[in-house]
Chain A
Amino acid sequence: MKRVKAVLGDDPEIAFAEKRYNMIGEILEECLTKTETGMTFSDKLDKVLLNKYLGIPIFLILVWALFQFSIEASGVFMAIIETALVTVGEFFGTLLAGNEMAASLVQDGIFGGFAFILPFLAPIFLMFLGIAWLEDSGYFARAAFVMDKLLRKLGVHGKTFIPMMLGFGCNIPAIMACRSIEGEKDRMISILSNPYISCGARLPVYVLFAAAFFPGFEGSVIFSMYILGLAVAIFTAWLLRKTFFKGEPEPFIMELPIYRVPTLRASVLHMWERGVVFLKKAGTWLFLGAIILWFMSAFGPAGYLGIDPDVSVSYTGILGGLIQPIFAPLGFDWRLGAALIFAFLAKEIAVESLGIIFAIEGDIAIGGALAGVFSPATAAAFMIFILLYIPCVAAVGTIKSETNSWKWTLFSVVYSIIIAYVIAAIAFALLSAIGLGVIGGA
Chain B
Amino acid sequence: METKLSDLRPGNTATVTKVTGSGAVKRRIADMGITPGARIEMIRNAPLGDPIEFKVRGYLLTLRRSEAEDVMVSTEVQM
Contacts and interface: CB of A to CB of B under 8 A. Distances in A.
Classify A-B as touching or not with yes or no (CB < 8 A): yes
B74 interface: no
Nearest to A144: B62
B47 interface: yes
Given A253-B29, A253-B63, A253-B67, A18 B46 contact: no
Contact of A50 (B30, B36, B44): B44
Contacts of B46: 50, 55, 145-146, 148-149
A56 B62 CA distance: 17
Contacts of A18: 30, 35-37
Contact of A148 (B30, B31, B36, B51): B51
B64 interface: yes
Contacts of A46: 43-44
B51 A52 contact: no
B26 A14 contact: yes
A158 B66 CA distance: 14
Interface residues of A, number: 29
Interface string B49-67: 1110100010111111011
A256 interface: yes
Given A253-B25, A253-B29, A55 B47 contact: yes
Contacts of A158: 51
Contacts of B32: 253, 255
A149 B53 contact: no
A22 interface: yes
Given A150-B48, A253-B61, A254-B61, A21 B33 contact: yes
A91 interface: no
A254 B59 CA distance: 11
A401 B19 CA distance: 38
Contact of B19 (A14, A52, A149): A14
Interface in A55-111: 55-56
Which of B29, B50, B66 has the most chain A CB atoms closer than 10 A to its own CB?
B50
A38 interface: no
A145 B43 CA distance: 13
A217 B61 CA distance: 42
B51 A252 contact: yes
B4 to A, nearest CB: 16
B27 interface: yes
Given A252-B64, A252-B67, A149 B35 contact: no
Nearest to B43: A46
A14 B38 CA distance: 12
Contacts of A14: 19, 26-27, 30, 35-36
B76 to A, nearest CB: 20
Contact of A17 (B30, B43, B48): B30
Q: Nearest 8 CB-CB pairs, A to B?
A: A55-B47, A17-B30, A18-B35, A149-B48, A256-B60, A252-B64, A149-B50, A251-B25
Interface of A: 11, 13-15, 17-18, 21-22, 46, 50-56, 145-146, 148-150, 152, 158, 251-256
Given A18-B30, A50-B53, A55-B47, 12 more contacts: A13-B26, A50-B46, A145-B51, A146-B46, A146-B47, A149-B49, A252-B62, A253-B25, A253-B61, A254-B61, A255-B32, A255-B59
